[in-house]
Structure 1
Amino acid sequence: MKKTLTFSLILLSGTWLFAQQRPDTSSFPMLNGRAGMPNMAAKPATGPKPYKEVITNKAITHKGLFTVHQVEDKYYFEIPDSILGREILAVTRYSKTPGGGRNYGGELVNQQTVEFDKGPEHKIFMKVITLINYADSTNEISKAVKNSNLNPIAAAFPIAAFGKDSTSSVIDVTDFFKGDNQAVSLTPAIKRRLNLSMLAADRSYIESIHTYPINTEIRTVKTYSSTPSAAGNPFGGAPSPMPQSEPLPAAMDAGAVTIELNTSMLLLPKVPMHKRLFDPRVGFFADDYTVYSDNQQKVDNQVFAVRWRLEPKPEDMEKYKRGELVEPAKQIVYYIDPATPKQWRPYLIAGVNDWQKAFEKAGFKNAIVAKEWPENDSTMSLEDARYSVIRYFASDIENAYGPNVHDPRSGEILESHIGWYHNVMKLVHDWYMIQTAAVDPKARKMKFDDSLMGELIRFVSSHEVGHTLGLRHNMGSSSKTPVELLRNKAWVEANGHTASIMDYARFNYVAQPEDNISEAGLFPRIGDYDKWAIQWGYTYTGISDPKKDELVTNKWAVDSLKNPRLWFGGEGRNVDPRAQTEDLGDDAVKASNYGIMNLKRILVQLPVWTKEEADKYQNLSDMYQQLVGQFARYMGHVTKNVGGIEETFKSVEQKGDVYAPTPKEKQKAAVAFLNAQLFQTPTWLLDKEILNKISYPTANEAIQNLQVSTLNSLLDAGRLYRLQTSRNRFGNGTYGLDEMMDDVQKGIFSEIYSNKPIDAYRRNLQKAYVAKLIELIDPTKSNAASLTPTARGFNLSIINTANTDVPSVARGELKSLLVAVNAAIPATSDKLSKYHLQDLSERIKKALDPKS
């Protein structure tokens, strides 16, 4: 189901059709104790009254999208006939939230598209609409499309009066906004998570309604009965990086939860922006709907990029066509939340303004800018859907996120509220210290100087703004930088360690102390790919037909993507080892070896660099865990090479295959790396000077857990199946399933061939290896998951490996291992090692012959 909600309108050029959503029946009259038909004996509704009897001389009136009249304790909307049938985006956000919910004022709660239409019996209907299908009204099939989709009537308002000139209708909206109406309130999912029950009408009210030329803002306070929830994220709503598992204190203390909401009703453009069809070679978010026409021989599912409407001013069009930089007709503006600490505001602003250079590639100057919020302007609201804001949250969540609200007819971004959690500073501190302290002395303390922290904030700001411009993560970008160039001071300081700030490349952990690389070569920045993606998405063609526009943008991609630094590698959720989070360079083994060299330098200094007065070794514990986590990332980067399949999207104009196996030498080197750096116990990480201060001896052992989890990943049935199918598809030059299993087994059981004692970590690992192979030969545990990328995400499929070579090879490896273990037992003098091998022998025998 699409995450983005969509709209309807019958335009002059065609008919837009919509899928039906389930209407809210909570307000239906009761019949015999059940929801049912209204009581036919009820007093019939009276018709419209004279305007002056409804909008009296006591009315306080404000004109805007809807003219809003407040008459004592009632609110009326006066809806012009010209607005009827127009799509209106209803965006509901939290204004204030109860403590403990881990959601914050300014975060998105609900988004619907509605339209107002006249109904029978002097009523105005509000319909909730979702765009699914479109057909031009000149086509006969448009009748079938129209007849196959019906939008729910979410609310019916009696017309209280007609406007003075009879071109508008006045409706009473007081009870609607005070009540619990799904289109402009909490979603059912949020209510379930919060355990909300009945709305307390006596404690719910309209705080204010303000109206402006294209939007009307409704602020409400709603109180619900609530019982404590012990699991899940009780507040739901906007992206919350860390699920909440504790009950809300308000529910525990008062049995009620009060929430303040702001609903922006924003009029969508009468004529949608020209669409730009999605291209998998350029990383834009996308929306889609199905287009029908009479001359089709197959249905056209149009997938199009999500982006801002950036167009030259009419008077500058000729300059733009000549290649001169011009200012756009409408600038993209972001405001900084006044709750933001003042010392960080300049860096957040800089992170936005850094994108100006990218927009120059699309022909626009001053296309994007950030400003401080004008705190003395009472006409502006932070929740107003006309304004894009970096919202600052007082939160211990270590994150930030960059969403956008867009028109689903065209993909036009209308606004964005970036979520900025205060504790993101801890996240960037820990990253920078663990990844660069070996080379940057400024990273060697628990509290960074404001100038360093400010630059870290600036980089995160640029990344999140990139998302709000429509850009997805490009996890493959960093793979286009050769590892040795990451140590080349002149090159990396000039070009950056990755070609995209939309990558999760973080900081240059490959650089060594002797390279003398400054922060210019350690920090990410807006790079070549980012500028190219903005150029592709925002260069104005003026072509209204998306198919004709696609011919132009396809040529741009074919011509430009000859430069490998402009490659879009996707979100990193496929099995292409070039597209990974948190990695650097074109060779994971080489980059990780450099990274480990730096981790060893940092580890011995952690007790000094983390020391603060009165600290109870919490700093040391935190940073040791971060260091082990960084080491674990290196293991993951290398592991993904095994069974890897490279995916490079192309059009027919480009040469070469889309799919190819990761080269055999890289896969073989990856297994050798894991055997040497992880499966051979990494004793350097077991620093007793640190562990004896931060870790209870019987606590879960991080290194042991990492060894086992990496081994299980390496021997995952899906990975093994890819090794087999790659050999079948690409031939004997690929890394084969049997060869990989042999290499792993020889590395993990090297002691049985050398008659050396087996330490506790290795004994644990060897048992885990045998357990995994036993699992692989069990036909009841033979399913493997596979992700297939699509324009809008990924499809999950399950592969049954029971009838493949996977269990056959696993059984063969167990048999050969049994022979080797039995041969090693007599020559093993270490007592625990001998017991261990005897135990393994019995386990394998039982697995191969359960009846024995």
Structure 2
Amino acid sequence: MNKRFFLILVLMIGWQAVKAQKSIEEATQGTEKKEGFFTYYWDEKNGKVWLEIDKLDTEFLYVNSLAAGVGSNDIGLDRGQLGGTQIVEFRRVGPKILMVQPNYSYRAISENADEVRAVKEAFAESVLHGFTVAAESEGSVLVDLTPLLLSDAHGVANTLSRSRQGNFRPDASRSAIYPPMLKNFPKNSEFEATITFTGSGAGGYLRSVTPSSDAVTVRMHHSFIELPDNGYEPRKADPRSGYGTIRYMDYATPIQENIVKQFTRRHRLAKKNPKAKVSEPVEPIRYYVDRGAPEPIKSALIEGARWWNQAFEAAGYKNAFIVEEMPEGADPLDVRYNVIQWVHRSTRGWSYGSSVTDPRTGEIIKGHVSLGSLRVRQDFLIAQGLLTPYENGTTPDPRLLEMALARLRQLSAHEVGHTIGLMHNYISSTNGRASVMDYPHPLIELQNGQISLKNAYDAGIGEWDKAAVTWGYQDFPDNVDEDKALDQLIEDQFKKGLQFITDSDSRPIGSSHPSSHLWDNGKSAVEELNRLLQVRNHVLKNFSEKNIPVGAPLATLEEVLVPMYMLHRYQLEGAVKVLGGTYYNYKLRGDSQPLPSTVSKEEQEAALNALLRVVSPTQLAFPEHILKIIPPRPPGFGRSRETFNGRTGIDFDPVAPGETVAGAVMSYIFNAQRATRLAQQKAMNPEQIGLTDVINTIFSSLFNVTYANPYYLHLNHATQNQMVAALMDLYKSNSASTQARAEALNGLLKIKQFAGNNANGSEASSNAHYRYLNHLIELFIMNPQELEVQNALSPPDGSPIGMEAESWCSFSDN
């Protein structure tokens, strides 16, 4: 075969291949055409979605989410859960179409194309999916989108595996497109599919929420969204402002400037008249509440979310923030709607505010709130324990529902706050409830010997919230220096005493700020703890059968008792941070905020005394009348995460709850970082309280006392055990300084000596206890890493008392 003939043959074959390539019109005959941002076709006969791509090499937003979830807080796959917001584009390579995610974490903002290219080629992109061209017409190509829609784009299998719920993967034979939610609009195309995951080894959480635990079926939603236009003006981030941020590295930055760029996350909002003190917006921010929320809950959610209009009014806007019921038939995952969604789970859990945000600029395109429906029942339960609500048998005191709905209003406002860009502000409780972005514990007051809940939760937006929205959304005229104006707004906040401290500085472990805590009240954590102990004592003294309705099993009193016995749990977390604490803020050079300062010795000693009061047997013991009325659990009403853990089988354990509280207090006090701070502050200032001072004070309080009441004695022994266990943990911790570990060992030796000297007294149980402690510490000193010490039982679920905090038993930061 000569070369000329071979060339002719190749050309003929190529021509036939081109001729065989169908047009899009031919390939989509018999399908339902849906025109919009991306035109696509629903092929009902074959169960496929065909996507027409007329925007090659054009970036757009891609978001995946769960339209129908798993229903377990512990697993974390909720209805309405958003995945990450990704910028993607379709690129053609021969017969293939690649769906590529560019790397926006590393950029070069430059007019120099070579400089831009150098950065782009230095960091990896991600090809999220690949398609084969099935047809093309006039610059547009057709691909089968079905494989992407039926994939595990949301990472469900990884989530199940990570939460130890089994090994699962998508089953194509049990998965299909979900036609009712195939929708198209001018600026967004929406797709949805039913995805079934099959596998083995289903964990308990998964078994509890699935009809057949070897097959988990969810609905996965995919959104293709047009990128916003260039009309949005990014606002530079400020760590003092309270706003979340986007960040990236700009390699075109001059050497003398910071290469990391940060911008505020916020909605687009502009005044019609920027020069006017008060103006209507060009386009208001509009939120919609889930039609699936029942009354009176729905009205409470709407009312709470509308509080934010107060803040926008303070920022100079009129009618800028609107909240309404979701239109009938609207899809909550449609990017055009900011949504407050009512989410059901099998157990109470976290609520959260998430968003679809443009990764380039920080513009929030869609706010999406998920509120756990069982939270309102927990507040009802708390009120049920505080009052005597069933005096008349079965009709509850109306104040229970009033308090629960008051909390829902605040919760709705809080989570919406996240979706307009705001972070938590946990110090605001010291400013007289200055922000709904705090985690509020109900304010329980004793008035004339009676519990009052009339001020349990605030009603309205706080002063810090107003100042923060003004900083984030103020629309400045062209002749105003925006940077100077924004800085002045922050300075004005300082002058008003408004402060901002967020998550990492507010947890009981690791952080040292004495004024910023979760679920606390009052200006002083210590004073509020002492006050709350008085309230708790009153509640326990008056606790009775009347806390549950007639006809309820008497053993279920325990579910109501738990939050009453643990009423002080979060306030003591705040008080412990005073020990080794430091007052500080997010100060910038040149602003008027004060420099850091160590908490005074007097404040630290007052905190330690309050914590020792918490673990005194008089506080750990249950009143005798309560122990008499709680019987063992009846059939069908077994123990759960809402009841106390115990060591007495089905009988109510009167000691384990006290041991749990004591264990928490001791582990908090002797946390490695806190112990190191205590040791170092003594070295820096010999007049300050130090770690050995704390150990000696606790030792004296626990060991240099006697109790004639055997129940009190038993509880005191349990608390002594927890002190020993906490000191052992501190000694073994590599996170502690060697000095802190040395002082912990010295404390253990002091306890060992005391135990050895008191193991032959007149009281038999004390003799046994001290022999045990002496032997335990001796074994520990011989081989500290191998000795397994019995830890305190974990408490019943506490957080989320309302939102996304960790469980109290974890003793760790998020």
Structure 2 Cα separation of the partners of residues 463 and 454 of structure 1:
14
2:549 corresponds to: 612
Structure 2 Cα separation of the partners of residues 769 and 103 of structure 1:
35
Structure 2 Cα separation of the partners of residues 471 and 53 of structure 1:
51
Q: Secondary structure at the match of 1:637?
A: helix
Deviation at 1:592, TM superposition (A): 1.5
Cα distance, 1:816–1:342 mapped onto 2, change above 3 Å = closer
2:27 corresponds to: 54
Is residue 2:739 matched to residue 1:805? Answer: yes
Structure 1 Cα separation of the partners of residues 387 and 463 of structure 2:
24
Is residue 2:584 matched to residue 1:647? Answer: yes
Q: Secondary structure at the match of 1:586?
A: coil
Structure 1 Cα separation of the partners of residues 655 and 413 of structure 2:
38
2:656 corresponds to: 701
1:171 corresponds to: 142
Deviation at 1:245, TM superposition (A): 5.1
2:222 corresponds to: 263
Instruction: Determine which of 411, 418, 425 is the counterpart of 1:474.
Output: 425
1:90 corresponds to: 62
Is residue 2:219 matched to residue 1:246? Answer: no
Structure 2 Cα separation of the partners of residues 245 and 184 of structure 1:
17
**C-alpha offsets along residues 286-324 of structure 1, whole Å, 9 cap, x if unaligned?**
221111216324651112221111112xxx23xx3231x
Is residue 2:93 matched to residue 1:141? Answer: no
Structure 1 Cα separation of the partners of residues 728 and 306 of structure 2:
57
1:579 corresponds to: 516
Is residue 2:602 matched to residue 1:665? Answer: yes
Which residue identity lines up with residue 120 of structure 2 in the other structure? K
Is residue 2:30 matched to residue 1:79? Answer: no
Structure 2 Cα separation of the partners of residues 124 and 700 of structure 1:
66
Deviation at 1:84, TM superposition (A): 3.4
1:739 corresponds to: 693
Deviation at 1:551, TM superposition (A): 4.2
Deviation at 1:556, TM superposition (A): 1.9
Instruction: Determine which of 337, 356, 359 is the counterpart of 1:405.
Output: 356
Is residue 2:337 matched to residue 1:387? Answer: yes
Cα distance, 1:601–1:511 mapped onto 2, change above 3 Å = closer
Is residue 2:468 matched to residue 1:533? Answer: yes
Cα distance, 1:153–1:813 mapped onto 2, change above 3 Å = closer
* 1:487-502 mapped onto 2 (5 Å cutoff): 498-502=433-437
**C-alpha offsets along residues 226-257 of structure 1, whole Å, 9 cap, x if unaligned?**
334126xxxxxxxxxxxx353664544xx533
Instruction: Determine which of 98, 105, 119 is the counterpart of 1:125.
Output: 98
Q: Secondary structure at the match of 1:145?
A: helix
2:3 corresponds to: none
Structure 2 Cα separation of the partners of residues 831 and 115 of structure 1:
74
Structure 1 Cα separation of the partners of residues 20 and 496 of structure 2:
69
**Aligned partners of 1:48 and 1:159 also within 8 Å:** no
**C-alpha offsets along residues 677-736 of structure 1, whole Å, 9 cap, x if unaligned?**
42344265343434651561557610122113312321233221111222344x234322
1:301 corresponds to: 260
1:748 corresponds to: 702
Which residue identity lines up with residue 373 of structure 2 in the other structure? H
Structure 1 Cα separation of the partners of residues 117 and 103 of structure 2:
18
Deviation at 1:630, TM superposition (A): 1.2
**C-alpha offsets along residues 60-98 of structure 1, whole Å, 9 cap, x if unaligned?**
433210123346645433333xx4333322222223346
Is residue 2:488 matched to residue 1:555? Answer: yes
**C-alpha offsets along residues 94-134 of structure 1, whole Å, 9 cap, x if unaligned?**
23346779767742253352533442325543213342112
Is residue 2:444 matched to residue 1:509? Answer: yes
Deviation at 1:621, TM superposition (A): 0.8
Structure 1 Cα separation of the partners of residues 693 and 84 of structure 2:
53
**C-alpha offsets along residues 786-814 of structure 1, whole Å, 9 cap, x if unaligned?**
xxxxxxxxxxxxxx52xx32233234444
1:462 corresponds to: 413
2:636 corresponds to: none
Cα distance, 1:560–1:513 mapped onto 2, change above 3 Å = same
**C-alpha offsets along residues 452-496 of structure 1, whole Å, 9 cap, x if unaligned?**
543332222112211211222211111234xxxxxxxxxxxxxxx
Structure 1 Cα separation of the partners of residues 44 and 768 of structure 2:
87
Instruction: Determine which of 343, 346, 356 is the counterpart of 2:296.
Output: 343
Structure 1 Cα separation of the partners of residues 88 and 593 of structure 2:
49
Structure 1 Cα separation of the partners of residues 457 and 609 of structure 2:
29
Structure 2 stretches lacking a partner, 5+ long: 1-15, 633-650, 785-814
Instruction: Determine which of 271, 274, 283 is the counterpart of 2:233.
Output: 274
**C-alpha offsets along residues 36-71 of structure 1, whole Å, 9 cap, x if unaligned?**
xxxxxxx98977434543354x45433210123346
Deviation at 1:616, TM superposition (A): 0.6
RMSD of aligned alpha carbons:
3.7
1:63 corresponds to: 35
Is residue 2:569 matched to residue 1:632? Answer: yes
1:352 corresponds to: 305
Identity between Structure 1 and Structure 2 (%): 23
TM-score, L = length of structure 2: 0.81
Is residue 2:715 matched to residue 1:761? Answer: yes
Is residue 2:177 matched to residue 1:205? Answer: yes
1:429 corresponds to: 380
1:116 corresponds to: 89
Q: Secondary structure at the match of 2:179?
A: strand
Cα distance, 1:62–1:598 mapped onto 2, change above 3 Å = same
**C-alpha offsets along residues 128-182 of structure 1, whole Å, 9 cap, x if unaligned?**
334211212324532320221342333344444544xx3x4031335434542x5
Structure 2 Cα separation of the partners of residues 173 and 543 of structure 1:
49
2:809 corresponds to: none
Cα distance, 1:447–1:149 mapped onto 2, change above 3 Å = same
Cα distance, 1:44–1:282 mapped onto 2, change above 3 Å = same
Instruction: Determine which of 323, 329, 336 is the counterpart of 1:370.
Output: 323
**Aligned partners of 2:179 and 2:192 also within 8 Å:** yes
1:291 corresponds to: 250
Deviates further, 507-516 or 122-131:
507-516
Structure 2 Cα separation of the partners of residues 450 and 815 of structure 1:
54
**Aligned partners of 1:95 and 1:106 also within 8 Å:** yes
2:667 corresponds to: 712
Which residue identity lines up with residue 205 of structure 1 in the other structure? I
* 1:786-805 mapped onto 2 (5 Å cutoff): 800-801=736-737, 804-805=738-739
Cα distance, 1:691–1:710 mapped onto 2, change above 3 Å = farther
Q: Secondary structure at the match of 2:228?
A: coil
Is residue 2:453 matched to residue 1:523? Answer: no
Deviation at 1:515, TM superposition (A): 9.8
Structure 1 stretches lacking a partner, 5+ long: 1-42, 232-243, 482-497, 785-799
Deviation at 1:432, TM superposition (A): 4.0
In the alignment of these two chains, the number of paired residues is 736
Structure 1 Cα separation of the partners of residues 42 and 254 of structure 2:
53
Structure 2 Cα separation of the partners of residues 99 and 840 of structure 1:
46
Instruction: Determine which of 171, 183, 193 is the counterpart of 1:220.
Output: 193
Which residue identity lines up with residue 577 of structure 1 in the other structure? P
Cα distance, 1:367–1:132 mapped onto 2, change above 3 Å = same
Deviation at 1:782, TM superposition (A): 3.1
Structure 2 Cα separation of the partners of residues 417 and 195 of structure 1:
30
Is residue 2:61 matched to residue 1:107? Answer: no
